[in-house]
Amino acid sequence: MIDTQAPSRAHNFCAGPASLPTPVLLRAQQEMLDWGGRGVSVMEVSHRGADYIALAAKAEADLRTLMDIPDEYAVLFLQGGASLQFSALVMNLLQNRADYVLTGAWSAKAFDEAQRLELGDIACAGSSKDTGYTTMPHIDARQGIDYLHYCANETIHGVQMFNTPKIDAPLVCDMSSCILSEPINVREFGMIYAGAQKNIGPAGLTLVIIDRELLGRARRICPHILNYEVQTKSDSMQNTPATYSWYLAGLVFEWLLEQGGLNAIGTQNRHKAKTLYDFIDQSDFYSNKVDACYRSIMNVPFTLADATLDARFLQESSAAGLLNLKGHRVVGGMRASIYNAVPQEAVDALVAFMADFEKRQG
């Protein structure tokens, strides 16, 4: 892939939809009007055509290579975002009871959506809410549950569960904001799902990776479009998929393979996060409240000692080409999302800006 940095690209710390690798966007730009000599763009062809089917299969094969996904797992390219999976997974997997771990805004939402359906007994197996979601709770799952749901990385609160819970039931994990950020062992999970717009590609696509053993349990009320078994049998083409998002995700997978895969990208991600947390920790002006061992390597929330300076920080950082640093409204302060496509140089530039701002205002 072409590796020229386009000169006008800013450093983008947006939490999602997030930064995409410049070489991927250049390739998409190159192919926009004429996809490989076909005289049309990828967006303008049938998803049933041989060319598109080959593209879709290549994207899946590259993802399987990247994440080392065994054949016993189905990989689905769906729509509706991670939020629709909050309901879909319940309709597909819940027989009687399931437990949820509450570690931040997203897992709390998943729990709420599961309860809303009234399809069975949904309980909380541990919550860190009373700490303001700054640490990880003890997990106490019930016997005989159909699955345990948790969120590996809480995008809003900046807390990450680095160790997979060891329990005797299928694990269902929302990996929307940490998928592809470092190697994981897919075999430890019953199901993994992720909205694409953080670390995979543009919005509109949702990945589901599911142990085939868990297929075939869907409740009767489950729409066919949301039924993982039906979608597995139709290669995620039960209806028209998000063809362009799928194509771009495929380019991101190729880019990740060129970077050396998830081991290499994981090392870079750890280094980026360490750069930022180390700087925050040595400063009296900036702070991050999350327990050191659970600090997210993808989303770094931080506050300024004087919140009346927030607006000036945002205005000046944006003028310096450091974009989208405003924290989520439920947490306040700032947040730097440093996904795969955000390079070390962006983090270095952010730290240099923060140091300078502190010197002038602190």
Ligand X SMILES: *Cc1c(COP(=O)(O)O)cnc(C)c1O
Binding stretches for ligand X (CB under 6 A): 16, 81-83, 106, 151, 155, 174, 176-177, 195, 198
Report in angstroms how near the CB of residue 80 gets to ligand X at its nearest: 7
**Read out DSSP for 106-126?**
HHHHHHHHHHHT-SSEEEEEE
Question: Of 35, 62, 106, 255, which is the active-site residue?
Answer: 106
Residue 120: count other Cβ atoms within 10 Å of its Cβ: 16
Q: How far apart are the first and last CA of the chain?
A: 44
CB of 1 to ligand X, least distance (A): 26
Nearer to ligand X, 3 or 112 (CB): 112
Active site residue 34: no
- For residues 160 and 163, give the distance between their C-alpha atoms in angstroms, rounded to a whole number: 9
Q: Which of 62, 146, 174, 211 is catalytic?
A: 174
Report, in Å, the least distance between residue 272 CB and ligand X.
18
Q: Is 216 exposed, middle or buried (0-12, 13-18, 19+ CB in 10 A)?
A: exposed
Q: Would you call 152 helix, strand, or coil by DSSP?
A: coil
Residue 174: active-site member:
yes
Q: Which CB sits closer to ligand X, 23 or 195? A: 195
**Residue 73 · residue 67 · CB < 8 Å:** no
Catalytic residue, candidates 35, 62, 99, 198: 198
Nearer to ligand X, 81 or 250 (CB): 81
Q: Nearer to ligand X by C-beta: 108 or 347?
A: 108
Residue 255 designated active-site: no
Q: Of 198 and 272, which CB lies nearer to ligand X in the complex structure?
A: 198
Nearest distance in Å: CB 161, ligand X: 11
Instruction: Give the C-alpha distances (Å, rounded to integers) separating 316 from 286, 301, 319, 350.
Output: 16, 18, 5, 11
Q: Token pair for residue 84?
A: 């629709």
Consecutive H or E run containing 356 = helix 344-361
Q: Give which of 297, 273, 6 is closest to 153, Cα–Cα.
A: 297
Which residues are marked as active site?
106, 174, 198
